Amino acid sequence: MIGNEQHTILTTKDLPKLFQQYIQPSLQQSTDLAAGGIYAAMQARHPQAFQKYGPEIQQELAKVPKQYWTLDNLETVVTLVYGRHRDDYAREEAQRLVAHMEPTIRPTGGGSGPVPTQDQHQNPFESESIPTDWKQRAKQAGITEATIREFCQANDMSPEDFWKQFDTSPRQPMVAEIGGGSGTR
């Protein structure tokens, strides 16, 4: 000992304790900062996905250690979650396209002018003239008012004519389950 100074001799058995006490917290802080920045970049790149499916993305990211949070890895996670909801995105896009569709000329020569819409205040699915069992099957099949309008446009029919079909007797099944095994349809 020289003067009042005290010197400590480090041995290899002291290294794990020193690493854990001094170096590891600093590395963890750096990793957390980098992961936060990469997460923010992904949120900016895919705002719609994070808005709709943020908790699901978080759940998947919890499976990935933060030291592996790279732009490529987070892009993969967002794509995975997006892929799980591809049907939702496709349906929304189809409804958006149908709503903004311009009149066209059909191959048969008939034009498709603007499809008349029903009174916005009356939902045809709430009409008492529509059988309850049909409403349930339509809902299970994912049929919406937009689906009906698209069907009517494709078949040169107005939505009003479509809904009038329920007033006629005998009723033909427009949405029916096709059974397997019983031989009946």
Check residue 159 and give its pLDDT: 81
Most confident of 70-79, 101-110, 169-178: 70-79
- In degrees and rounded to multiples of 5, residue 182 shows phi and psi of -85, -15
What percent of the residues of the chain are helix, what percent strand, and what percent coil, each to the nearest 5?
60, 0, 40
Convert the pLDDT of each residue in 153-182 to its tens digit.
888 888 888 777 777 655 555 555 555 444
The full set of domain ranges for the chain reads: 19-84, 111-167
Check residue 51 and give its pLDDT: 92
Using pLDDT thresholds of 50, 70 and 90, give the confidence band for residue 16: confident
Q: d(Cα 184, Cα 78) in Å, to the nearest integer?
A: 44
Three-class SS of residue 83?
A: helix
pTM of the model: 0.43
Convert the pLDDT of each residue in 109-146 to its tens digit.
555 555 555 444 467 777 777 788 878 888 888 888 88
- Within its chain, how far is the Cα of 163 from the centroid? 31
